[in-house]
Structure 1
Amino acid sequence: KGEQTLEVDKLLVAVGRRAATKDLLADGSGVKLDDRGRVEVDAHNWTGVEGVWAVGDCVRGPMLAHKGSEEGIAVAELIAGKAGHVNLDTVPWVIYTEPELAWVGQTEAQVKEAGIPYKTGSFPFAAIGRAVAMNETAGHVKVIAHAETDRILGVHMVGPVVSELIAEAVVTMEFKGSAEDLARIVHAHPTLSEAVHEAALAVDKRAIHKAN
């Protein structure tokens, strides 16, 4: 709050992206754009016009390469008469900074705003032997679970190689797993994935290790 000053050597300004759909569609095509310039599609990426589908950055959902790629596969499967679907609720997000950031699902603020009863568990990489050996102890893993069903609602990570670790959370959520499910899976030692294990245990205040 209020006026602040920050002196830096370099500044990166990221103002976001928007769909590049200007002059993309011919008049009378029947394909519609929303108020943000994105092609309107249904849950299966169909535009509502016979034979016209849209995927990737020009439609709703995160502008991520892996999301667009999976949508393309799903559409190809649907066109071939097979089952195809992309669950936008379990698309992993990654920021390749140092340390890395990764997350899937809802944030604590979103869960709170929705009025969903929840519980959380966090665990620092500083208490993970592999992270200490790598001299990469910054960051932690946070698990958000439903307070009544224990179903995982979101997982957030900052730290070493979390771009890889987030996949475990995605799989668990895709199979409607709970924090206890994640906590009872055996994780190899010493590995960075133990931070995920401990964070899941911490949801019910059962984390085993602690930082020195």
Structure 2
Amino acid sequence: MSKQFDVVVIGGGPGGYIAAIRAAQLGFQVACVDEWKNAAGGPAPGGTCTNVGCIPSKALLQSSEHFEQANHHFVDHGIEVKGVSMDVAKMIARKDNVVKQNNDGILYLFKKNKVSFFHGRAAFSKAVEGGYEVNVTGAANETLVGKNIIVATGSNARALPGTPFDEVNVLSNDGALKVGAVPKKLVLIGSGVIGLEMGSVWRRLGSEVTILEGLPTFLGAVDEQIAK
């Protein structure tokens, strides 16, 4: 038995979950399907930004900034601190907790705005009277019919030819956010936002960081003054 909706959103990242909530606020019956899982196998809506991008990166930046302030700048305020060390495992655990809080916040917003959430992988089945049939494969298999479909499935990290991600020595953004110890040396290929943020985190903690960039400036997609 299929479930009928005015709008079915495939993908629960910033594009998807915001579209789903706004459509519900405008009076539509809305479903959102997202397959992202947390460490326990439960739903983790929010997409790349929440799970392996903006949010966890900022959490690590904050932790590393506190470490650098204690080591190099507290003394400017008359605060003397000795023997400062970083527990990387605790830093990563805090980052994971920040991510979970955001996941839970999105699920709460779905409930508050009466968006039906389905945890699983969505696939188009066929066009039917009144819309499109979408099959959801997950903990519970579902069939949805939406008059309108919003596809917001995001993107994946792209490996360089001949250099696949092994998440040990060659890291994607996902692996870079899970490093369990301060690397002695770190090479970043590309100077996008996440790359520069990760470089800043590990440089503050003691890594020797090298950035390789093909363009003449960092952050090629942003304003020149910001890049400088």
**With structure 1 as the length reference, what TM-score do the two structures score?**
0.26
**More contact order relative to length (CA 8 Å, sep ≥ 6):** 2
More strand by share: 2
More helix by share: 2
